[in-house]
Amino acid sequence: MKLALLKKAVLVALACLSCTSCICHRPECARADELIQKNDQLLIKEGYTPAYFSGSYHNTIRHVSKGYITKEHQFATLPTARFFIVEQMEAFAKPFNEEKALHIYLQDYPFSAKNISLQFHFLDQESRPLLYPNFAQINSMQGQVTYYYWDEVTNNPRLAFSERYDQALNSYNKSKLANWKPKLKPTPKIQQ
């Protein structure tokens, strides 16, 4: 118990230290942080917990990377997972592209999948990664979307499928045109 607390303390200390070295003191960085926090608030309401953040604000806003965990959602098919990640990416980029005052500070305008990394981890009620057929992790990084199952043998994510973001976006747009929207399955109850 004490060891666990101490481990946590060291981890938080290291996190604090890493943050002190990457703080940007300019107003455009502060505004970008506000936009990210707004998005976090929306996701928290939907049952996602922000897990980590890193941003590359090296003179211009180049890249934002966020990770979330959730125990309240699960995706077992590629179309639903794809629909989810594309909606998240588009919702994340939208305020950056709508905020006119930020445009000149964005390394790339329009801000797009190239500039955003999102990572979602799906856990059961006991904080273990969800098992097949559900995806345990869905990432969109550097324009590539990757879906992972959890491998119980190696205790690591196992690649399920990967596609370019623009391909995922095309499929998303097609399904939107067809008025298709995924239905979320309820979270499985804890078996005691």
Partner 1 sequence: MKTALITALFVLTICLTSSCMKGKQNYVTGKYTGPRAEVAMHYALEEYGREVATAHDMQFLIAGDTTDDKGIIYCLTFRSGATMRLEKGRLFAARQVKDFLKMLQTSPEVKAFNALLRKENPTFAEEAQIANVGYKIVFWDKSTKRVQKPYLAQILFSNKTFYFYRTDPKTQKLELIFKEAYVDALYHLEATSS
Whole-Å CA distances, 157 to 28, 56, 101, 122, 160: 36, 26, 40, 11, 9
Around 7, how many Cα atoms within 13 Å sit in the side-chain half-sphere? 4
- 5 scored as a contact of partner 1 (CB under 8 A): yes
Closer to partner 1 by Cβ: residue 109 or 161? 109
The piece of 5-13, 86-94, 119-127, 141-149 that touches partner 1 (CB under 8 A) is 5-13
Q: Is 59 left (phi over 0), alpha (psi -120 to 50) or beta?
A: left
Nearest distance from C-beta of residue 178 to partner 1, angstroms = 24
- 13 scored as a contact of partner 1 (CB under 8 A): yes
Closer to partner 1 by Cβ: residue 7 or 128? 7
In the numeric block, which tokens belong to residue 4?
A: 């666990």
Provide the mask over 102-131, with x wherever binding to partner 1 is found by CB under 8 A and - wherever it is not.
-xxx-xxxx---------------------
- 14 scored as a contact of partner 1 (CB under 8 A): yes
Show contacts with partner 1 in window 48-107 (CB under 8 A): 58-60, 100-101, 103-105, 107
Q: From CA 87, how far away is CA 67, in angstroms rounded?
A: 15
Q: From CA 93, how far away is CA 176, in angstroms rounded?
A: 19
Nearest to 96 by CA among 86, 110, 85: 110
The piece of 10-18, 47-55, 115-123, 165-173 that touches partner 1 (CB under 8 A) is 10-18
Q: From CA 30, how far away is CA 171, in angstroms rounded?
A: 35
- 177 scored as a contact of partner 1 (CB under 8 A): no
What residues line the site for partner 1 (CB under 8 A)?
2, 5-6, 9-10, 12-14, 16-17, 20-21, 23, 25-26, 58-60, 100-101, 103-105, 107-110
